Chains A and B, each alone.
Chain A
Amino acid sequence: MGDEEILDVIVVGAGPAGLACAGEAAGAGLQVIVLERGDVAGGKNLSGGRLYLEPVKDLCADLLKDAPFERPVVSETVCLCDERSSLSFRLDQPTGNSVTVLRARLDKHLANRATAKGAMVLPQQRADELVMPAGRVTGVKVGPEVLKARVVVAADGVLSFLAQQAGLRPARETHTYAVGFKEIIQLDAAVIEDRFNLPKGQGAARLYMGAVTGGLPGGGFIYTNRDSLSVGLVVQLGAVRKWRSESHLFDLLEEFKQRSDIAPLLAGGQTAEYGAHLIPEGGFGALPSPGIPGLLLAGDAAGFVLNTGPVLRGMDLALTSGVLAGRSIVAGLKARQPETCLQIYRQALKQSFIMKQMRAHKKAPIVLSSDRLYRRLPEQMVNWATDFFRVGPKGSHPRMRQAFKGLRRSLGFRGLQDLWRLMRM
């Protein structure tokens, strides 16, 4: 590729956002290359992870056809934990609306689809910086080489150095990030189905809130894959920065795995991989502008993650923003007005569920950063349940009325306020 050649689109980052965008643009006849810094598409990518399918089943029908999902989630459990016990709410359904995924497999599939539509995915290419004379992005630099394009898409993930260079994320606000770290623990499919009480091929998601994060805002998770479990923790970095503890973060994961209500689920499993990744959890209030002239942001790079506690979504927003970016570029370039791409994209985002949902849940980051939700509330709920099920040495056990009164008393005004805020979130 000489300096003279100007491509239609350069996409930076072969994840769901970048590959969805590349497929969309290439499918419409544009010349598209995807720069991926890893050895292969997905090589640098890590999720919990699960993908909610309903929002993307129409928009990405073609892209996700025959995609290598792990298991459809038919069993949802939220567990409130104190140091030793947990109280669970579990929903079992005949069908699920999300699937567990492993990104190495999923992203490879997405890359194959984008390639089949004519996009060129180039691995081992780190886009070092944007070329932006006079405030307009005209290409990227890869090492000494300059690649030029009518539009550049930064789908370079949560840390997006390109968005930062463009001035869209000048300061990295610690409280707008969380870190997720997890192990892949291999187990036979039949053992997984047995332990999680699942029909063959179906999956479970378990979320843990409370003592598992040592009081830090966040939670633990177990997702069932085909023949492994994803077991990990997510914690908000704003709280980690102020964390008073002798422990390391990684100690929390080991303690999580050793809990008496978790260890039997993992017993005999072999850890095959360990990984960590940041999550942009700033929500609506922390969203950057989705681009500058010549540059569009998509996926994590644009801050498109929704955390509302029991539901944490990123990949469906990434895929959707990628498709919308691709379509906006097609519309702008076909009309020979590349400068309109950003405006078209902004409008498309506004009309999509992404901006609507992010706005609707804009209070979530603040409510979910309250320490008490993770320290006091789960413990009080566990205590209440413990009392409720206890028959004492004098042969007594509480009446329903007393138990609920006891719960109200132990929650206190603050606890009730927390619950109220959660319900209004």
Chain B
Amino acid sequence: MKTQLLEADSMWLEYNGKKILQSIYIKMETGKVTGLLGRNGTGKSSLLRMIFGTLRGQNQSVRINGEYIAKPYLHAGIIRYLPQSNFMPKNLKVNHLCELYRVRFQDVTDHFPEFDKYEKHLLGKLSGGEIRLIETLLILLSPVHFVLLDEPFTHVSPLMVEKLSTVIHEQKENKGILLSDHAYQHVTDLSDDLYMIVPIGRSVLLKNPEQDIKSLGYTS
């Protein structure tokens, strides 16, 4: 399969004159997990939404294989986005959600056999952690080239985080995955390339993640 390339360039975002993002370049490609780190409030979620196409900044350029696309989410088969908080309707059944997102329920249970019993359950009947996992899996297993995961490990138990990490690792074979989470050790372990957003709104590609994370003040 031909490698697909997504570049987010010159991303510039201000709210009420306050600069959030001003000099961002991020490259994703199929076959790789790209990690995104940054302190709270540095604009990671905003950046993901700008790449997805639902948030317009003062300036932005998202190119796929070199071709500018204003709103990638409008094009079928290109990109899906997992927001930080729950977003799927609680009164739809799990198998119906799979059908809408064109994900085989079998693929979900291949990775998480414990979900087999939930096939015809309403999403709202599951626990908070299970809902989060289902949402993450539906995005991750979607038939698209790129997925953007914002805090996929939130509310997920350590055992499930390990299993989810395995799915992410498997899915990168035919997808480009952008992963942002405060569980930075998981992000660094899974990522092939790692970016950090540093004040004020600049992206830095980390050459030596362990060392750079400390020197940029993300950890002590």
Do A and B interact?
A: no
